[in-house]
Amino acid sequence: MKMFKEIMSWVIPIVVGLLVALLIRRFVFTMVRVDGPSMEANLENDERVAVVKTVAIKHLSVIVFNAYRVDPDATSKNVKYVKRVIGMPGDTVSSRDGQLYVNGKRVNQSFISQFERTQGTGDWNLQGLSNKNEWSIQTTKVPKHSYFVLGDHRSVSNDSRYWGFVPAKKVLGVVKVPFWDTSATKRHNVNAIGY
C-alpha cells in the first residue's frame, strides 16, 4: 500500500500536467512551423511561431488556417497555411499599381518592402478575381464568416487571389512571434499592426 501511494504521488501530478498541457494546446495556443517563403521577410521558412486561439482577428492579422478544401491544391487534411488578413467579411478589396485598397481606402503596407508590394501583386478586384479563377462564389465583397488573405511576399504567395476566401471555421488562430525572437521589427509587423 505504501508503494502504491508513492507511485501515485508522482503519477497524478504527471497526468494532471499532461491534461493541462493538452487543454492549453487545444483551446489557448500551440506552436507551428512556417513552411515556405510566402510570408518573407516577416516570417521565414522553418521559423516556429505561436498560434493564439483566443485573439480576435483584425485587418492585417497574420493567421494560420487549415487549407484543405480551401486551396484545391491542398490535398492533405493537415495542410496549414500562414497568411495575412486583408479583407474582413463585407469588405471590398482591390489592388492598383502595387497598392491595396480595402473599402476604397489605401492600406498602409509599411510591413513589407516596395518590391514585395509590387512584384506579383497585379491589378485586380474581387469580382475580376472570382470571374478569372471561376470561384464557386462570384462576389464583389468578402462573404460573411470569411477572410481574404495574402502572403507578404506577393510574387511567390499562393493565396486568396487564386483560390478565394478562407472560411472562419478553418482558422486555427492568430500568429504571434515569440518574445525570444531577436527582431523587434518582425515582432511588430506580425504581432502589433492589426486594426
Name the residues annotated as catalytic: 38, 83
Q: Count of CB atoms within 10 A of residue 136's CB?
A: 6
Comparing CA positions, the residue from 174, 173, 167 lying closest to residue 145 is: 167
More confident residue, 125 or 30: 125
* Residue 34 to residue 55: CA distance in whole angstroms: 19
Comparing CA positions, the residue from 94, 149, 169 lying closest to residue 127 is: 94
* Residue 26 to residue 172: CA distance in whole angstroms: 10
* Residue 100 to residue 103: CA distance in whole angstroms: 10
Summarize pLDDT for 17-44 with one digit per residue, the tens. 555 555 555 655 788 888 899 999 899 9
* Residue 31 to residue 190: CA distance in whole angstroms: 15
pTM above 0.75, yes or no: yes
Comparing CA positions, the residue from 141, 154, 131, 153 lying closest to residue 87 is: 141
What confidence score (pLDDT) does residue 142 get?
Answer: 97
Summarize pLDDT for 46-86 with one digit per residue, the tens. 998 989 988 899 999 999 999 999 999 999 998 999 999 99
Which 3 state secondary structure label does DSSP give 76? coil
Summarize pLDDT for 128-157 with one digit per residue, the tens. 999 999 888 888 999 999 999 999 999 999
